[in-house]
Structure 1
Amino acid sequence: MTRSITTEPLTPETFAPYGDVIDAKGAPDKIINQGKCGRYHDRALVDVTPDTGGRVGVSVFHAELRDFPYTLDLIERHPEGSQCFVPMSADPFLIIVADGPDATPHAFVSDGTQAINFHKGTWHGVLTPLSGNGLFAVIDRIGETPNLEEHWFETPWVVTQGRS
């Protein structure tokens, strides 16, 4: 049995139930640095459960490039903190989210200029760069208590590329 989903473009509206789209579209919120820099202010909520002893940290991930069709056999979530992925090159990446392990996943493709921040507890696919160097700055919870739950699909999903 094959189950499939098709990607769609990443927009703040379609991604809102799962997290924040971080980009520099439109006019900046503030002009800083002697008028030489536009600040796109407060674009995502970094949310860490306060009573677990964790803190916010910045890491760098180096992920292997992937292709379409993509086989989705695992989703995960982080119940104690949000997780923000900022590509370190202007290349698109695949973003998969789900309302739960039994729900049909949704697949988005960034336009290469967007970063994303998953809300705390959002089920999502693993980091999936489609081109470029696979480097991402990741802002998330660092701590001693468990902050990862995984779900393996008995029947994987096949993700195909839709419109850009």
Structure 2
Amino acid sequence: MSRRVSIEPLTVEAFAPYGDVLDARGEADKIINAGQCGRYHDRATIDVSEQTGGRVGISIFHATLRALPYTLDLIERHPEGSQAFIPMSADPFLVIVADAPDATPKAFVTNGAQGINFHRGTWHGVLTPLAGNGLFAVVDRIGETPNLEEHVFDAPWIIS
């Protein structure tokens, strides 16, 4: 038996309980580089647990393209640090979050020019690019202690 979740557009307000939306809409906060560059300043807080050590790192992920409807059978979270995904192409990707493993997930789709930063400890689906090359810059905690918890659903969710 599967359960259904509808996708909604990714907005700052709807995503706020789970993390930050990284985008460059509207006027830039600052104009730099002799007037040639708009800086959209401080769009996310990188949160790394001080208790377990570690540091902030930047990695590149190359994820397999997915299609809709998407079967969600696993969610994960990172209790030791936030995790930001910044697409390296102007293509939409699916962002799935949940308040807890037994809660109904929420699904958002980016507009192709947005990235996201999951708050530390937020349950979320795996990286799910819907088009493009599947390349993402990822900013997250690098350290020796475990920073991944996974939950497999007894019955999958269908995201459409």
1:83-122 matches, within 5 Å, as 83-122=83-122
Mapped partners of 1:46, 1:53: distance in 2: 14
- Kindly provide the CA deviation profile for residues 119-139 of structure 1, in whole angstroms up to 9, marking residues without a partner as x: 000000000000000000000
Distance 2:123 2:51 in 1: 22
Over the matched positions of the two proteins, sequence identity in percent amounts to 74
- Structure 2 match to 1:9: 9
**Runs (5+) with no aligned partner, structure 1:** none
Question: Shift in Å at residue 53 of structure 1?
Answer: 1.7
Find the aligned partners of 1:97 and 1:53 in 2 and give their Cα distance: 26
What's the counterpart of residue 130 of structure 1?
130
Partner of 1:145: 145
The one-character-per-residue Cα deviations of 1:13-33 (angstroms, maximum 9, x if unpaired) are 000000000000010000111
Q: Deviations over 1:65-112 (max 9, x none)?
A: 000010000000000000000000000000000000000000000000
1:70 maps to what in 2?
70
Unaligned runs of 5+ in 2: none
TM-score with structure 1 length normalisation? 0.97
**How many corresponding residue pairs?**
160
1:5 aligned partner, one-letter code: V
The one-letter amino acid paired with 2:111 is: D
Deviation, 1:52, is 1.1
SS at match of 2:51: helix
In 2, the alpha carbon distance for the partners of 1:49 and 1:2 equals 36
Quick one: distance in 2 between partners of 1:103 and 1:2?
14
Cα distance in 1 for residues equivalent to 2:137 and 2:2 = 34
Cα deviation for residue 2 of structure 1 reads 2.2
- Displacement after TM superposition at 1:51 (Å): 2.2
CA distance in 1, matches of 2:2, 2:83: 30
Q: Which one-letter code corresponds to 1:61 in the other structure?
A: F
Distance 1:159 1:12 in 2: 21
Matching residue's letter, 1:122 = T
Q: Distance in 1 between matches of 2:51 and 2:148?
A: 17
In 2: Cα distance, 1:148 partner to 1:51 partner? 16
Aligned counterparts of 2:40 and 2:2: Cα–Cα separation in 1: 42
